Amino acid sequence: MAFELTDSNFKEKVMDHEGIAVVDFWAEWCGPCRMIGPHIEEMAKEYDGKALIAKVNVDSNPEISYKYGVRSIPTVLYLKNGEVVDKQVGATSKKVLSDKLDAILA
């Protein structure tokens, strides 16, 4: 299952994390978010030990959403050693999400 991030644990788990983190910014009421949610959960299992796959509920965690300028959801950020290296805005296929992560891991 994807790791649940909050405003209070984001720095420790992502900013200070050495390695790759994929963070899905979502909300319960967001239809497109519910479309990619299963992709994120599958990736959490498939990339276990290779990358941190996590989710941020924008309604519960406005600080971190604001910090990264998340205005549209779903937004998926790809971070390497705490720095954003890629992002995906809007619903997309699991292949697109995985391909971006594979390119960063390569």
Catalytic residue check, 67: no
Q: Give the pLDDT confidence score for residue 42 in this predicted structure.
A: 96
Q: Rounded distance, CA 64 to CA 58, Å?
A: 8
81-105 confidence digits (pLDDT tens):
999 999 999 999 999 999 999 999 9
Return the H-helix or E-strand segment holding 21: strand 20-26
Q: What dotted CATH number matches 3-105?
A: 3.40.30.10
Catalytic entry in 23, 33, 36, 52: 33
Q: Rounded distance, CA 17 to CA 86, Å?
A: 16
| The pair of three-digit structure tokens given for residue 65, joined into one six-digit string | 């959403």
35-86 confidence digits (pLDDT tens):
999 999 999 999 999 999 999 999 999 999 999 999 999 999 999 999 999 9
pTM of the model: 0.93
Catalytic residue check, 83: no
